[in-house]
Structure 1
């Protein structure tokens, strides 16, 4: 089989899932109080610039690599694709249920925007554009892997429980929301509509 024949066969067998638009609602907007904070706190409006949220812990055009990027030496300057954290209130409720705690607030794990109404938010693919009613646009980089650091933050609110820091990464996988970067600046407020412009998708399997 020639390379061209093999490629044509692959394309003929490819299952493409069409792009779509999904609408949701912004429930809360949050930001850090200082550049050193991890926890975020509710605010009236969130101003998004090309660098992210001015003054926020994760703002900036670039960032230093960490444990999530083992292919670079730790501390390597790289593009900041993690400016914004977007969480689903439905998924937060599922995580809380799995952890057997009364609630899980977006601010405890550093969320910037909590939304409702978008099914399986954390599974939304990269390249999705989150278009907010006020005009701001966040481009999704991917899902946000849960970590023990966030688990420790949760544990501070339930000091009578042991092991919550380790439990969170186990039960929150593919439920911890999305990270992305600002594609178009603007202001985001609670109560406004958000539309996820999901691109067409396929599974890349060169075998």
Structure 2
């Protein structure tokens, strides 16, 4: 018998804008700026994180490392304001989206990294992305930041990033409806109902 129901926070619609687009080569997670992104059901063609499946890693300790699983990490999304907070915490002037393998910078959404799973991003040009989860900060991205920012102690920098960037590292998403995203494009954001599950 259900004695109590969790409080349900109704969903909402928000608006945002594309502030930057980036793509990686197939052999390096660092990205470079582009004016448009072509997306298919495999993600971004040729991108380091492209593909319908991927190999499991440290984020999935319940599988043997290297197990083929669904790729819900096709697109990495960040916000400039959150990167600025992380940069300040690391004692840096800036952290560029390219350094941490971002594909998309979104402007106009406060607390971007806190958008819940299943949030839908409808781009004016027709693309739809579905948010999977927060992108947990890792040492690999920290090492890239430390190297690109020319930090004096790069080992310390690679360790510092995961500590100070928690819940500020952005989101990962997958392509629900393919197409092309252009720089400056408007985005309609549909946040689903939210609740805290307690057994």
Using the size of structure 1 for normalisation, the TM-score is 0.93
| Deviation, structure 1 residue 160 | 4.1
Equivalent of residue 44 in structure 1, options 30, 35, 39:
35
Distance 2:123 2:95 in 1: 24
In structure 2, the CA distance between the partners of 1:160 and 1:86, relative to structure 1 (3 Å rule), is closer
Equivalent in the alignment of 1:137: 128
Distance 1:197 1:141 in 2: 14
Equivalent in the alignment of 1:119: 110
In structure 2, the CA distance between the partners of 1:197 and 1:149, relative to structure 1 (3 Å rule), is same
Distance 1:160 1:65 in 2: 30
Contact 1:29-1:113 within 8 A present in 2 as well = yes
The Cα offsets for residues 68-127 of structure 1, whole Å up to 9 and x where unpaired, read as 000000011110000000111111111111111011110100000001110111111101
Equivalent in the alignment of 2:13: 21
Distance 1:130 1:191 in 2: 14
The Cα offsets for residues 176-198 of structure 1, whole Å up to 9 and x where unpaired, read as 00001000001111111112210
Matched, 1:82 2:73: yes
Q: Secondary structure at the match of 1:165?
A: helix
Equivalent of residue 95 in structure 1, options 69, 86, 90:
86
The Cα offsets for residues 129-166 of structure 1, whole Å up to 9 and x where unpaired, read as 11111110110000000000000000112324312111
Equivalent in the alignment of 1:146: 137
Distance 1:158 1:78 in 2: 34
Alignment size in residue pairs: 197
Distance 2:148 2:50 in 1: 26
1:98-109 alignment, distance < 5 Å:
98-109=89-100
| Structural RMSD (CA) | 0.9
Q: Secondary structure at the match of 1:156?
A: helix
Distance 1:120 1:160 in 2: 27
Structure 1: 5+ residue stretches without partners? none
Equivalent of residue 10 in structure 1, options 4, 18, 30:
4
Equivalent in the alignment of 1:202: 195
Using the size of structure 2 for normalisation, the TM-score is 0.96
